[in-house]
């Protein structure tokens, strides 16, 4: 009987669901949004950051003292009229006249109360609603003022996936928490966007709207802010996660989609003053060295604001993470579609802050639905949008809902503990690596269970290291480790749920497992001196000990880390948490020398901080080289091809003087922008004489073209011309001069064929000089530099582009191969891949066998080749500002002293006679939980609080966890027996009616048809 009633009830609910979903779809505006960002500096305006918060008069006095004492007279402090202007602040905006600019900046920077001076920026965002079939490529971050590069914003190609009729809240089971009485009540959530109408019908509780722009309105004129707010807190039609949360709307973009850095800084300060709990930020960019912004984000999270930010829409390319989502203290969110596949547009890791000496961190933190998500329309009804700026409010709404359900936990809930719970509860997606999904897909209910039983502690991300687990541990799992190799670096993030500040005590300890050959591993560890705010890092270096040189198999162990933070409220002893990092590594005997390739990472430079241009000049809407130029970012496919071919690739993050050339067959130099130490040039000559081979992939270089692609930089407030081209060709020519090899200064482009291989030469250099006994390949190409300068030319030139040389200084000398363009192995803007050619080059450098494709296309004579000049460094270039090789001395660039080579100190092992489980992921307990906790189910006390302790009605209420711990709520309730009796009576009556009632045949036929429709619709909603 019960089963029959249950089935009948489920069908009725399903039919009702279909009806309402159909109703919602009728009001649904299906659109795809493309969000472009660009920015430019504001002439002569500077942000002066102070070391602390001061009132208006005190700040004015400091600035007045600094500038007037230096003789600067033409300046003024720009008044800021916004809700934060009545409070102390840590910055001012100052206007300096051009004539006094340099003196004024120096005077301000020298004042002891001033932290730094940076430029004021204007940020433009364009929301373009387009059809789902529209495809667009490219990305920029800087306004280029009608120069050669076009500032078309940050975007990437992506398709609109089908919108499922179910609510996003239903998909993630938010309704289960609603049924427990958890609806977001008691949580202040800030939305930094385009504003929101006070009368929008979807929202119950718009607590405060603030306008930080120069327009006199609080309303949303664009629709993006309304959509984001709807995903978080809508109570009608397209439902949000936390409908009873307090919405604090920060309008930071005008209707012309313009904002300023100072607007954000003021708004951030106000969010701290208002004790915001959760903040959603759906903007970002690649500049992780924008100090005022990064510092203010740290300050926000240090004040217990849980910040959620979109990871970026620059996928599927790796190394495209956006700031601030790439910061350790921020919850960085990637996007998936409703088939649980990583969205094509979602940016991928790793972080590139740490290059070239280190290795990037795992990001995003988690992923959730970001394709075809329903949210509130500016005019009512619903629309669907796609992007990580959609996935971000999904997580922000979920975090708001979770926080409202654990108000009784008090200060236990903080930015670290929330992030720990989201990571520990996330469901890992199969077949997806950690740089795409982070810890996995958002699991709302499991996160709630963890938060209810959470004990303050430290945790690690990733929580274990398994160099044999593919595909999740890509790229670590793709190459075993062996004796003599460059150490493998794993950058582990430490999340400190104990307190906002902390430190590692007693140094991390390495415990090899004796039964599982852990003694074959050498481990070195470096870590953050301080953990703040809520986080830090630990770099783990893995190498094979000498006794493991011939071993093949797995080695196990773990690292123990103890984190200490100050005592909590009412505590005497410091808080401590000890966490283990399990390690499993696959070891093989050292491969033969000719199979080992060394990738030069040390001589790659990228944005930020300097302007290093793209290698393909045809891609005008993506001017910056910002993906790291690493084998695991934009050279990912090249790396995988080399591994599939049987080569072993290691990364050199230090000068050429720091590696043993006798261990490697080929040194691979690709797209270098850095200069070379004289000692490096001499050592490379000796190494080649000793048998090392070198492959060089260059790129374009021409001073006139470099001047053409200049732009006005938003950081330095100066016109910037790139200090190198796609490659620093003058530096490369210095490196190759020992063999009489030289690239020219013209830029060539065009399609050609090598035997049956279609090739594309994208913005490359030609070979100007090459030894006569070498082999040179030439092709008919266009002069792209002339085209860029605005001249029309249809002539094709005989262009030497590839050279192969067997050096002969000794009988064991190595070989050198040079090619003038790297775009065919770079994923950034790959048109035609040439991995086959790299394989052929390696066949030549590794075995001395010359592939027939090079013989068949050998240039027989240098006659009629394109004439090129010797390339010179641009006069007045400022490469020294970003170089590890150059420094400025008396107004001129000079070579620094050669740095010492890194020497790792191996951790003293403390062996353990234990064995590791077969699966580190499933066995690893990510968080310690309170045992036998009773989860609150009904009538949770998550009431609204303000500074007076009274709500709007005048009734006294509790403070939330954001301010101070609230009293625990009573979780035990007596269930009314009369309710049980009434339910039982209703069920019995319903069964009696169904059994006795006999519908006519027509109705039975109608019911059968209706049931078929129900079943069909049910299948379509999966």
> What is the number of other CB atoms lying within 10 angstroms of the CB of residue 869?
11
Q: What is the pLDDT of residues 313-371, one digit of tens each?
A: 999 999 999 989 999 999 999 999 999 999 999 999 999 989 988 999 999 999 999 99
Output the six-digit token pair for 540. 């783990």
Q: Are 606 and 578 members of one domain?
A: no
Counting the structural domains of the chain, the total is 5
- Is residue 600 within 8 Å of residue 672, measured between CB atoms? yes
453 is catalytic: no
Q: What is the pLDDT of residues 899-918, one digit of tens each?
A: 999 999 999 999 999 999 98
Q: Are 857 and 786 members of one domain?
A: yes
Mean pLDDT of 782-811: 92
Q: What is the pLDDT of residue 1019?
A: 38
Characterize 878-896 residue by residue with b for buried, 16 or more Cβ atoms within 10 angstroms of its Cβ, and e for exposed. bbbebbbbbeeeeeebebe
Q: Are 499 and 387 members of one domain?
A: no
Q: Are 578 and 624 members of one domain?
A: no
Q: Directed axis angle between helix 101-110 and helix 56-69, to 10°?
A: 120
Mean pLDDT of 945-955: 34
Q: Which residue has the higher pLDDT, 680 or 932?
A: 680
Q: Which of 377, 401, 427 is the last residue of a domain?
A: 427
Distance (Å, rounded) from C-alpha 783 to C-alpha 795? 8
Q: Which residue has the higher pLDDT, 61 or 125?
A: 61
Q: What is the pLDDT of residue 165?
A: 45
Q: Which residues pair with 559 in a beta bridge?
A: 510, 581
Q: Which residues pair with 369 in a beta bridge?
A: 336
Q: Directed axis angle between helix 678-689 and helix 729-736, to 10°?
A: 50
Which residues constitute the domain of residue 338?
170-427
- The answer to whether residue 903 is domain-embedded is no
Q: Are 40 and 20 members of one domain?
A: no
Q: Which of 400, 427, 454 is the last residue of a domain?
A: 427
Catalytic residue among 90, 92, 100, 193: 193
Q: What is the pLDDT of residue 155?
A: 32
Q: What is the percentage of the chain residues whose pLDDT exceeds 70?
A: 81
Q: What is the pLDDT of residue 44?
A: 80
- The answer to whether residue 789 is domain-embedded is yes
Distance (Å, rounded) from C-alpha 736 to C-alpha 744? 13
Mean pLDDT of 927-938: 53
Q: Where residue 39 falls among pLDDT bands split at 50, 70, 90?
A: low
- Is residue 190 within 8 Å of residue 248, measured between CB atoms? yes
- Alpha-carbon distances, residue 413 vs 172, 701, 926, 930 (angstroms): 21, 54, 17, 14
Q: What is the pLDDT of residue 119?
A: 79
- Is residue 429 within 8 Å of residue 442, measured between CB atoms? no
- The answer to whether residue 793 is domain-embedded is yes
Q: Are 538 and 662 members of one domain?
A: no
Q: What is the pLDDT of residue 983?
A: 73
Q: Where residue 897 falls among pLDDT bands split at 50, 70, 90?
A: very high
Mean pLDDT of 661-673: 97
Ramachandran region, residue 285 (left: φ > 0; alpha: ψ -120 to 50; beta: rest): beta
Mean pLDDT of 116-126: 73
Task: Single out the residue of 454, 436, 345 nearest to residue 390, CA to CA.
Answer: 345
Q: What is the pLDDT of residues 989-999, one digit of tens each?
A: 776 666 665 55
- The answer to whether residue 790 is domain-embedded is yes
The overall average pLDDT reported for the chain is: 85
224 is catalytic: yes
- The answer to whether residue 408 is domain-embedded is yes
Distance (Å, rounded) from C-alpha 970 to C-alpha 177? 18
Distance (Å, rounded) from C-alpha 831 to C-alpha 294? 35
Instruction: Tell whether the model's pLDDT for residue 937 goes beyond 70.
Output: no
Q: What is the CATH number of the domain that holds 563?
A: 2.60.40
Cis peptide before 373 (omega within 30 of 0): no
Q: Are 328 and 421 members of one domain?
A: yes
- The answer to whether residue 6 is domain-embedded is yes
Q: Are 329 and 197 members of one domain?
A: yes
Q: Where residue 34 falls among pLDDT bands split at 50, 70, 90?
A: low
- The answer to whether residue 945 is domain-embedded is no
Q: What is the pLDDT of residue 456?
A: 96
- The answer to whether residue 695 is domain-embedded is yes
Mean pLDDT of 505-526: 97
Q: Which range, of 281-290, 382-391, 653-662, 836-845, averages the lowest pLDDT?
A: 281-290
Q: What is the CATH number of the domain that holds 858?
A: 3.40.50.880
Q: What is the pLDDT of residue 340?
A: 96
Task: Single out the residue of 891, 605, 623 nearest to residue 731, CA to CA.
Answer: 605
Instruction: Tell whether the model's pLDDT for residue 501 goes beyond 90.
Output: yes
Q: What is the pLDDT of residue 941?
A: 41
Q: Where residue 929 falls among pLDDT bands split at 50, 70, 90?
A: low
> What is the number of other CB atoms lying within 10 angstroms of the CB of residue 808?
10
Q: What is the pLDDT of residue 55?
A: 94
Q: Which range, of 9-18, 484-493, 704-713, averages the lowest pLDDT?
A: 9-18
Q: Where residue 711 falls among pLDDT bands split at 50, 70, 90?
A: low
Catalytic residue among 111, 202, 224, 511: 224
Instruction: Tell whether the model's pLDDT for residue 149 goes beyond 80.
Output: no
DSSP for 26-87 reads HTEEE-EEEEEEEEEEEEEEEEEEEEEEE-HHHHHHHHHHHHHHTT--SEEEPP--STTTTS
Mean pLDDT of 696-720: 76
Distance (Å, rounded) from C-alpha 277 to C-alpha 307? 9
Catalytic residue among 141, 259, 389, 392: 389
Q: Are 295 and 417 members of one domain?
A: yes
Q: What is the CATH number of the domain that holds 211?
A: 3.40.50.200
Q: Are 520 and 640 members of one domain?
A: no
Q: What is the CATH number of the domain that holds 65?
A: 3.30.70
DSSP for 588-611 reads -PPPPGGGEEEEE-TT---TTTS-
Q: What is the pLDDT of residues 432-458, one digit of tens each?
A: 999 999 999 999 999 999 999 999 999
Q: CA torsion sign, 427 to 433 to 435 to 436?
A: negative
End-to-end distance of the chain based on CA atoms, in angstroms?
A: 28
Q: Which of 130, 161, 184 is the last residue of a domain?
A: 130
Q: What is the percentage of the chain residues whose pLDDT exceeds 90?
A: 68
Output the six-digit token pair for 791. 């001249």
Distance (Å, rounded) from C-alpha 244 to C-alpha 204? 7
Q: Are 581 and 611 members of one domain?
A: no
Q: What is the pLDDT of residue 620?
A: 75
Q: Are 781 and 792 members of one domain?
A: yes
């Amino acid at each position: 009987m019960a089963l029959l009633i249950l089935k009948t009830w489920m069908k009725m609910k399903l039919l009702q669901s279909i009806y309402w979903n159909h109703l919602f779809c009728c009001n649904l505006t299906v659109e795809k949004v493309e969000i472009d960002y660009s920015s430019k500096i504001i002439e002569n305006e500077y942000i002066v950051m102070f070391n602390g918060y001061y009132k208006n008069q005190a700040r004015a006095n400091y600035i007045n003292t600094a500038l007037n004492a230096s003789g600067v007279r033409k300046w003024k402090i720009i008044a800021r009229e916004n809700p934060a202007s009545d409070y102390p602040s840590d910055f001012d905006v100052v206007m300096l006249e051009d004539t006094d600019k340099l003196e004024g900046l120096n005077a301000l920077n020298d004042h002891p109360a001033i932290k730094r001076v940076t430029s004021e920026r204007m940020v433009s965002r364009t929301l373009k609603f387009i059809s789902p079939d529209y495809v667009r490529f490219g990305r920029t971050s800087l306004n280029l003022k009608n120069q050669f590069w076009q500032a078309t914003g940050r975007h990437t190609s992506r398709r609109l996936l089908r919108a499922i009729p179910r609510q996003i809240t239903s998909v993630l089971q938010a309704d289960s928490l609603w049924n427990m009485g958890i609806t977001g009540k008691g949580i202040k959530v800030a939305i930094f966007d385009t504003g929101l109408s006070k009368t929008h019908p979807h929202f119950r509780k718009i607590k405060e709207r603030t306008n930080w722009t120069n327009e006199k309105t609080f309303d949303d004129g664009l629709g993006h802010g309304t959509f984001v707010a709807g995903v978080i807190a809508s109570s009608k039609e397209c439902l949000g996660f936390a409908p009873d949360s307090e919405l604090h709307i920060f309008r930071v973009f005008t209707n012309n989609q313009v904002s300023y850095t100072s607007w954000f800084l003021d708004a951030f300060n106000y969010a701290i003053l208002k004790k915001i709990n959760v903040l959603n930020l759906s903007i970002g960019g690649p500049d992780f060295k924008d100090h005022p912004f990064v510092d203010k984000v740290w300050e926000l999270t240090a004040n217990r604001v849980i910040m959620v930010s979109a990871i970026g829409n620059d996928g599927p390319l790796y190394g495209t993470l956006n700031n601030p989502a790439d910061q350790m203290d921020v919850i960085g969110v990637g996007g998936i579609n409703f088939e649980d596949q990583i969205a094509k547009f979602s940016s991928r890791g790793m972080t590139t802050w740490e290059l070239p000496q280190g290795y990037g961190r795992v990001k995003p933190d988690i992923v959730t639905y970001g394709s075809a998500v329903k949210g509130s329309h500016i005019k009512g009804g619903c629309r669907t949008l796609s992007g990580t700026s959609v996935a971000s409010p999904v997580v922000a709404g979920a975090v708001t809902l979770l926080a409202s359900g654990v108000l009784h936990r008090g200060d236990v809930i903080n930015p670290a503990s929330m992030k720990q719970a989201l990571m520990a509860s996330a469901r890992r997606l199969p077949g997806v690596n950690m740089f795409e999904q982070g810890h996995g897909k958002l699991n709302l209910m499991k996160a709630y269970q963890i938060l209810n039983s959470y004990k303050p502690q430290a945790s690690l991300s990733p929580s274990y290291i398994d160099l044999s687990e593919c595909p999740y541990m890509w790229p670590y799992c793709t190459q075993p480790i062996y004796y003599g190799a460059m150490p493998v670096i794993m950058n582990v993030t430490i999340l400190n749920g104990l307190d906002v500040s902390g430190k590692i005590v007693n140094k991390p300890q390495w415990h090899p497992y004796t039964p599982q050959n852990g003694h074959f591993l050498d481990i070195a560890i470096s870590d953050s001196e301080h953990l703040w705010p809520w986080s830090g890092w630990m770099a783990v270096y893995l190498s094979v000990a000498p006794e493991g040189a011939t071993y093949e198999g797995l080695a196990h162990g773990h690292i123990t880390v103890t984190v200490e933070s100050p005592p909590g409220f009412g505590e005497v002893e410091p808080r401590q948490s000890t966490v283990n990092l399990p390690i499993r590594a696959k070891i093989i005997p050292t491969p033969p020398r000719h199979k080992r390739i060394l990738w030069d990472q040390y001589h790659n430079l990228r944005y930020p901080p300097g302007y290093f241009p793209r290698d393909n000049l045809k891609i005008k809407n993506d001017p910056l080289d910002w993906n790291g130029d690493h084998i695991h970012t934009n050279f990912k496919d090249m790396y995988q091809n080399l591994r599939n071919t049987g080569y072993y690739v290691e990364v050199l993050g230090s000068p050429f003087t720091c590696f043993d050339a006798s261990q490697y067959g080929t040194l691979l130099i690709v797209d270098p922008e850095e200069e070379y130490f004289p000692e490096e040039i001499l050592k490379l000559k000796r190494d080649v004489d000793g048998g090392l081979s070198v492959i060089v992939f260059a790129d374009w270089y021409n001073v006139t073209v470099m001047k053409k692609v200049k732009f006005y930089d938003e950081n330095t407030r100066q016109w910037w011309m790139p200090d190198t081209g796609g490659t620093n060709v003058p530096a490369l020519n210095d490196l190759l001069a020992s063999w009489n090899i030289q690239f020219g200064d013209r830029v060539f482009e065009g399609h050609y064929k090598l035997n049956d291989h279609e090739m594309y030469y994208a913005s490359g250099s030609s070979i100007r000089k090459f030894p006569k006994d070498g082999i040179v390949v030439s092709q008919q190409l266009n002069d792209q530099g002339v085209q860029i300068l605005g001249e029309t030319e249809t002539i094709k030139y005989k262009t030497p582009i590839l050279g192969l040389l067997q050096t002969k200084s000794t009988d064991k000398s190595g070989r050198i191969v040079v090619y003038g363009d790297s775009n065919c192995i770079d994923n950034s803007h790959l048109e035609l891949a040439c991995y086959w050619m790299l394989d052929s080059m390696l066949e030549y450098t590794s075995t001395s066998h010359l592939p027939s494709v090079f013989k068949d296309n050998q240039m027989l004579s240098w006659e009629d080749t394109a004439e090129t000049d010797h390339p010179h460094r641009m006069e007045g270039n400022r490469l020294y500002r970003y170089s590890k090789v150059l420094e400025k001395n008396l107004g001129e660039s000079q070579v620094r002293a050669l740095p010492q080579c890194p020497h790792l100190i191996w951790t003293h092992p403390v062996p353990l006679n234990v064995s590791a489980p077969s699966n580190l992921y499933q066995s690893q307990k990510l968080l310690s939980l309170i045992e036998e906790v009773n989860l609150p189910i009904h009538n949770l006390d998550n009431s609204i609080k303000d500074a007076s302790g009274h709500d709007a009605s005048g009734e006294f209420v509790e403070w939330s966890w954001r301010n101070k711990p609230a009293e625990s709520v009573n979780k035990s309730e007596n269930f009314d027996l009369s309710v049980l009796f009434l339910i039982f009576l209703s069920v019995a009556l319903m069964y009696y009616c169904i059994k006795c009632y006999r519908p006519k045949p027509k109705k039975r036929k109608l019911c059968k048809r209706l049931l078929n429709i129900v079943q069909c619709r049910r299948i379509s909603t999966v």
